[in-house]
Amino acid sequence: MLNWRFIAVVAMVATDMVAATQAQSSRKPQSPVSLKDAYRNAFLIGVAINSPQIKGQDMGGDAIVERQFNSITPENVLKWEVVHPEPDVYNFDLSDQYVSFGEKRHMFVVGHCLVWHSQTPAWVFRDDKGDSLDRDALLKRMHDHIQTVVGRYKGRIQAWDVVNEALNENGTMRQSPWQKIIGDDYVEKAFQYAHEADPQAKLVYNDYNLENDQKRKGALVLITKLKAEGVPVDAVGLQGHDSMDWPSLEDEDTTIGAFASLGVKVIISELDIDLLPPATEHATADVSVHVEQDPKLNPYPKGLPESVQKELGKRYSDLFKVFLKHRGAVIRVTFWGLSDGDSWRNDWPVLGRTSYPLLFDRSDQPKLAFHAVLEAAGGKN
Ligand code: XIL
């Protein structure tokens, strides 16, 4: 089988050599060639990396990560089910490699995520007999997990998504096992434990759909309460699993502004843009949602028409202009995956679709949207 990533790297190196030669002969200043350089004075540009990339089994992908991005997030390897699959078993094999990956390349290394209801084994909430734990026992379990995981990477992971997705769509607290057993204050406990384990780490509350009115209001109440209680929350992560028409640019703008006015930083933590037909009635990023396959939901199995590439580029460019407007408040924009082939959107919420949500295509070539994002930086940074 052809190794497209290898070919892509060779092609990239070749292009660079030609560019370098041209630059030398014409002595014209070069325009910014990487995302991280284009946005250097605005915010960090991150990417979520997967196991093959962490293990060095995708060298072409790794070269792009190194060249284009200055921050990484682990797509899965620091989630509870991977790092702590059984009560007395911690598995740090992949997460150690993940952290070294970032350190070697002098990147801003993010931890994702400590307390969530998904990708958390059922045993976490039960005792040896299979009965539900009580509040104190679950708090102890949460404390030990956070102490062990955050403590292991103290000073090496610079920011943690501490609590993921604590809110319902109407802004009330989600009745997750954490909330049901511990109560609403599980959120502040998680932040306190994380701060105790690494006082230098930046701590993030992360969620999706915060651009929607009701959910945003709930999040603003939550963050206001945490700040008033002196809970160490530094930033809000807007996941950013967007579509071509959601959220509106106005809602994105309002949302970033609203959190910034509370004195927390804002991160676009999991950016991708879905251009396939919507599979659910309302926009969601709930990983437990599954929708039946249907050819109508997969209109571009063989490639994306140029006109749609352009629309995607315009959408990315418009969103980045909003992020740039809030530079200083927005401190990082992280893409949820490197290339379209890597994206979770190919299998969620419908299995086996051909999705085009990112800036690099299935052969690791920069898409029109990549150039649109570079251009949106405007060379004024
Ligand atoms: C996704 C991963 O990308 C998939 O590989 C995994 O199967 C499910 O989770 N919100 C989050 C992320 O906070 O952790 C999710 O990542 C996407 C939605």
Q: What is the structure's pLDDT at 171?
A: 98
- Which domains, ranges and CATH numbers included, belong to the chain? 33-275+293-376 (3.20.20.80)
Q: What is the pLDDT of residues 189-231, one digit of tens each?
A: 999 999 999 999 999 999 999 999 999 999 999 999 999 999 9
Residues whose beta carbon lies within 6 Å of some atom of ligand 1: 75-76, 164, 239, 270, 285, 287, 344
The answer to whether residue 376 scores a pLDDT higher than 80 is yes
| Ramachandran bin of 165, using left for φ above 0, alpha for ψ from -120 to 50, beta for the remaining angles | left
Query: What separation in Å is there between the alpha carbon of 74 and the centre of ligand 1?
Result: 10
Q: Which residue puts its alpha carbon closest to atom 13 of ligand 1?
A: 164
Q: Which of the four pLDDT bands, split at 50, 70 and 90, describes residue 9?
A: very low
The two tokens of residue 338 are 């490197």
Q: What is the pLDDT of residues 353-363, one digit of tens each?
A: 999 999 999 99
Report the atom number in ligand 1 closest to the C-alpha of 206. Answer: 13
Query: What separation in Å is there between the alpha carbon of 18 and the centre of ligand 1?
Result: 39
Q: What is the structure's pLDDT at 285?
A: 94
The answer to whether residue 98 scores a pLDDT higher than 80 is yes
Q: What is the pLDDT of residues 306-349, one digit of tens each?
A: 999 999 999 999 999 999 999 999 999 999 999 999 999 999 99
Ligand 1 pocket mutation pick from 119, 289, 344, 350 by most atoms within 8 angstroms of CB: 344
- φ/ψ (deg, to 5) at 114: -90, -50
Query: What separation in Å is there between the alpha carbon of 76 and the centre of ligand 1?
Result: 7
Report the atom number in ligand 1 closest to the C-alpha of 286. Answer: 18
d(C-alpha 48, C-alpha 343), whole Å: 10
Q: What is the structure's pLDDT at 33?
A: 80
Q: What is the structure's pLDDT at 111?
A: 99
Query: Of the candidates 333, 326, 205, which has an alpha carbon nearest to the alpha carbon of residue 270?
Result: 333
In order of 64, 246, 276, the CA distances from 299 in angstroms are 28, 20, 7
Query: What separation in Å is there between the alpha carbon of 32 and the centre of ligand 1?
Result: 31
Q: Which of the four pLDDT bands, split at 50, 70 and 90, describes residue 379?
A: low
- pLDDT, mean of residues 141-165: 98
Q: What is the pLDDT of residues 233-254, one digit of tens each?
A: 999 999 999 999 999 999 999 9
The answer to whether residue 21 scores a pLDDT higher than 90 is no
Q: What is the mean pLDDT of the chain?
A: 93
The answer to whether residue 260 scores a pLDDT higher than 60 is yes
Q: What is the pLDDT of residues 118-133, one digit of tens each?
A: 999 999 999 999 999 9
